[in-house]
Amino acid sequence: MANTNKALIVSAALASAMWMPLRAAAASIASAPYGATQQGQAVVQYTLSNARGVTMNCITYGGIVTRLDVPDRRGRRADIVLGFGSLGDYEKYNGKIHFGGLVGRYANRIADGRFDLDGHTYKLPVNEPPNTLHGGPHGFDEKVWTVVRTFQGTQGAGVQLRYVSKDGENGFPGTLTVDVTYTLTDDNEVRIDYRAKTDKPTVVNLTNHSYFNLAGEGSGSVEGQLVMIAGSGYTPTRPDSIPTGEIASVENTPLDLRALTPIGARLRSSNQQMRFAHGYDHNWKLNKNGQHNGEATFAARAYDPSSGRVLDVYTTQPGLQFYTGNGLDGSVIGASGTAYRQTDGFALETQHFPDSPNHPAFPSTELRPGDEFHEVTVWKIGVR
């Protein structure tokens, strides 16, 4: 592909990108009210801060990451995730846009809103006809989560959130107890731990749906920012974004992002897969080479040349959905007062494959009583 050698050189140079310590201090956490839902449920915002100028805000509504403030190469801070300025807007729009939310019970799509498990067919509500998307209507990112604990110390500062999804909610079997812990460390890592247990056999696929813009929220298109995905295969889809069941090579396709590549370089390709999705909205099969902290492998890197900000993603999950905000059409106004349009942000959703319950050859998403679902994703923030 064009520019591959240049991208490889840039990729190698960025491998050492990191923040230099400013001072020795432990990360900290603070909380404040964030209003109440239309049903009168109180919502709380948690602010995680570290010694190197990184601050992350999340709220108990949907477990949404509302802000992630990060310094650039000159030390100037900016929020690098898209979001809204009020709880009311999250309630109004997040069922379709999913800004920063914890998505479940099944992230991504299930074909025709149905799957078989142990000889029984389960029917789910369809919210992206003819399919079910992100667990169906009023999914996990529209629920108020319970705070189990908060903590701060030498390992970082964080908050553990819990949501109990009742048996039959949106058609899924089993009462599923989900715990998600956000941790911000002084190594500039945001660690997301997903855990779940069930009392009946079920399927589960969890992710965070943050949209990133490394130049800063509201700064315009990310087409000039670069992305690299550690995947040599992907799951081709039908026109409705449901996988065909094949795992195809990215070689000689616009989905070959194994070296840092400008997001806009192939966005308007005539490739059929790109036309189906109106841009990037595809699942990569991660190569899973190398270890990070002995548990999560390198999955992706994003880099903004203008600010120098670098985002590395590590995960234990087998797949990653790269999405260029194709559904953003200017109809919603972000936190900075800017109308969001396609490519104003991108998502790197670590997860299992779409429609896995209907594709036995895909990594299993089944969870059974006595077992624990546990996946980890790390956002490593740096600057070059």
Active-site residues, by number, are 209, 349
Torsion of CA 171, 127, 67, 219, to 10 degrees: 160
Q: Are 338 and 102 in contact (CB under 8 A)?
A: no
Amino acid at 157: A
Close Cβ partners of 375 (under 8 Å, ≥ 6 residues apart): 193, 194, 206, 315, 316, 317, 350
Termini Cα distance of the chain: 25
Cα(348)–Cα(281) distance, integer angstroms: 10
CA angle 22, 28, 32 (to 5 degrees): 130
User: Rounded to the nearest 5°, which phi and psi values hold at 102?
Assistant: -85, 115
Distances (CA, A) of 234 to 97, 149, 244, 333: 24, 38, 11, 33
**DSSP type of residue 364:** P
**DSSP type of residue 108:** S
> For the range 73-78, what are the long-range contacts, defined as Cβ-Cβ under 8 Å and sequence gap of 24 or more?
73/307, 73/308, 73/309, 73/383, 73/384, 77/53, 78/215, 78/216, 78/217, 78/219, 78/307
Residue 350's nearest CA partner among 380, 373, 317 is 317
Has 211 been labeled as part of a binding site?
Answer: yes
Cα(325)–Cα(180) distance, integer angstroms: 25
Instruction: Please state whether 58 falls in left (phi above 0), alpha (psi between -120 and 50) or beta.
Output: beta
Has 90 been labeled as part of a binding site?
Answer: no
Residue with tokens 């429609």: 355
User: Rounded to the nearest 5°, which phi and psi values hold at 333?
Assistant: -110, 130
Has 210 been labeled as part of a binding site?
Answer: yes
Cα(189)–Cα(156) distance, integer angstroms: 9
Has 194 been labeled as part of a binding site?
Answer: no
Give helix then strand counts, H and E, for the chain.
3, 30
**Residue ranges of the binding site for beta-D-galactose:** 108-109, 209-211, 281
**Residue ranges of the binding site:** 108-109, 209-211, 281
